[in-house]
């Protein structure tokens, strides 16, 4: 869509893990289209992936693979159930008490509506994610293959902006922090208050927001997460403004208009109106 221009790529959660894989494959193949990486609550090393590991072992993965083999995907409700169990007091029991026992229904807010917009996970993608990343940690140990050849995160040389959140039960911040041991590039790491969703969707002006931020240069010695947390600058407000400033420093001073929606001149026609036809499916 934007030929002959480098881009700033962004990935959130599993999308961030997939982006890291893609960036490593591009670096391996001398593809220089990326200018920077921003990874939001995204894990690249899964040895300390937190409470979700309670649900992931060989027997469970085999069970899920058998179930997905029959229907071709993991249903969104099945996935949501696992994440609810990670914070059962907040996402199951408090809701049951409020709605079932007290007869009170929470009013819908935009973040809750977005979080409820779940989707199915394709069989092959989910199987490889659980087995090759969670169980075997192939990506961090340079065994994960793209097009039948392994990729290494150490090949990535573009600047990285990595964001984590202090109360994240899906991607614990110390697990996200491990990227600083895996990529030989300048890494700006952010630890924001909030959880996996609210800590990321945290625009300026949101009350009671703060974050810590520090940049680890490629040629500097490793700093462990506890030492980082003790020394990193604490700032009040949203981390979004720090990200904006960081992106400006990585960019040229030339202001360009964004490409038209769908970029028809590049052969990418608009398919349909947002949010897409999938919302009409049963």
Q: What are the Cα distances from residue 258, in Å, to 99, 234, 262, 266, 271? A: 46, 34, 11, 13, 19
Q: Give 7-50 as a DSSP string.
A: EEEEEETHHHHHHHHHHHHHHHTT---EEEEEEES--S--TT-G
What SS3 state is found at 129?
Answer: helix
CA angle 97, 100, 105 (to 5 degrees): 90
Please check whether residue 75 is in contact with residue 202, taking contact to mean a CB–CB distance below 8 angstroms.
Answer: no
Give catalytic status of residue 242 as yes or no.
Answer: no
- Catalytic residue from among 13, 23, 25, 139: 13
At which residue do the structure tokens 């945290």 appear? 202
Residue 52 is classified by DSSP as G
Which of helix, strand or coil describes residue 235? Answer: strand
Please answer whether residues 216 and 250 qualify as being in contact, where contact means their C-beta atoms are separated by less than 8 angstroms.
no
Positions marked catalytic: 13
């Amino acid at each position: 869509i934007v030929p002959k221009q480098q881009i700033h790529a962004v990935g959130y959660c599993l999308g961030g893990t997939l982006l890291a894989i893609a960036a490593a494959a591009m670096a391996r193949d001398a593809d220089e289209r990326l200018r920077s990486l921003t990874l939001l609550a995204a894990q690249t090393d899964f040895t300390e992936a937190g409470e979700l590991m309670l649900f992931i072992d060989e027997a469970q993965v085999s069970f899920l693979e058998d179930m997905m083999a029959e229907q071709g995907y993991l249903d969104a409700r099945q996935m949501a159930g696992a994440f609810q169990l990670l914070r059962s007091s907040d996402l199951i029991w408090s809701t049951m008490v409020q709605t079932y026992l007290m007869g009170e229904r929470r009013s819908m807010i935009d973040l809750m509506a977005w979080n409820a917009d779940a989707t199915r996970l394709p069989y092959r993608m989910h199987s490889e994610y659980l087995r090759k990343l969670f169980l075997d940690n192939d990506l961090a140990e340079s065994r994960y293959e793209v097009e039948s050849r392994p990729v290494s995160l150490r090949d990535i040389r573009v600047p990285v902006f990595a964001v984590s959140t202090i109360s994240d039960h899906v991607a614990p911040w110390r697990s996200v922090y491990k990227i600083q041991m895996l990529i030989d590039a300048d890494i700006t790491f952010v630890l924001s208050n909030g959880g996996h969703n609210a800590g990321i969707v945290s625009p300026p002006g949101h009350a009671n927001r703060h974050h810590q931020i520090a940049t680890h240069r490629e040629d500097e010695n490793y700093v462990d997460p506890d030492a980082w947390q003790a020394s990193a600058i604490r700032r009040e407000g949203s981390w979004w403004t720090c990200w904006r400033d960081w992106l400006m420093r990585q960019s040229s001073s030339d202001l360009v208009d964004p490409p038209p929606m769908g970029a028809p001149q590049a052969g990418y026609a608009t398919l349909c109106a947002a949010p897409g036809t999938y919302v009409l499916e049963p």
